[in-house]
Amino acid sequence: MESSEVLSLFKQTGALLEGHFQLTSGLHSNQYFQCAKVLQYPAHCETLCRVLAQKARTLGVTVVVAPALGGIVVGQEVGRQLGVRTMFAERKDGVMQLRRGFEITPGERVLVCEDVVTTGGSVGEVVKLVLEAGGTVVGVSCIVDRSGGTVSFPGLPEPHTAVLTMHAVTYPPDRCPLCASGVPVTKPGSRGNR
């Protein structure tokens, strides 16, 4: 898919929001990708995740792991298209964990999937969790990479793939011009107040 097609899909479903947002990373931005709004349509979800699944077919993936909450739908659909198990990690007491009986067998080849990546914090936590369980992370895939392709996951080989890569403007809260202008901030992410 071309970037313009992806952006058009986000706009037509109301998934690209404009305003003043506090991202999960704590940074502020004038744009927010609410992937759930586009992924609520199974046909759009299948189309976007097909791009990720096709790029991952040669990696020998045996399981897909996604951080809750945003990555769950992406991970499930990519796993379905690859024909492999899928699971998600979630926070308990502020720490990313595998719960609900999910387990990674040592040596399993893991693809980590997320909806939107800015700093890669949640994905990094899942990568660490997988490695500690003895799994091998063979790639990271996301629908939107807001870092412009600069986000990295130390110690991981490529590939890091995204359906849409763009450089979104972000600000530390103490240097945010939207805050300075008195524009109210919204926190639409799954972590709520930090």
Q: What is the CATH number of the domain that holds 85?
A: 3.40.50.2020
Query: Which pLDDT score is estimated for 194?
Result: 38
pTM for the model stands at: 0.86
Domain extent, residue 130, equals: 44-166
Number of structural domains the chain divides into = 1
Domain contains 154 = yes
Residue 63 has pLDDT above 60, yes or no: yes
Which residues are registered as beta bridge partners of 116?
Answer: 144
Cα 93 to the center of its chain, rounded Å: 21
Query: Which pLDDT score is estimated for 167?
Result: 85
Tokens of 24: 């999960």
Domain contains 32 = no
Domain contains 50 = yes
Domain contains 191 = no
The SS3 of residue 51 is: helix
Question: How many H-runs (helices) and E-runs (strands) does the chain carry?
Answer: 6, 9
CA dist 96 and 172 (Å) reads 24
Tokens of 27: 């940074």
CA dist 144 and 121 (Å) reads 14
Question: At 53, is the pLDDT very low, low, confident or very high (cuts 50, 70, 90)?
Answer: very high
Domain contains 79 = yes
Q: Report the share of the chain in percent with pLDDT over 70.
A: 95
Domain contains 104 = yes
Query: Which pLDDT score is estimated for 120?
Result: 85
Domain contains 23 = no
Domain contains 158 = yes
Strand bridging mode 136-145 / 109-117:
parallel
Strand bridging mode 95-98 / 109-117:
unpaired
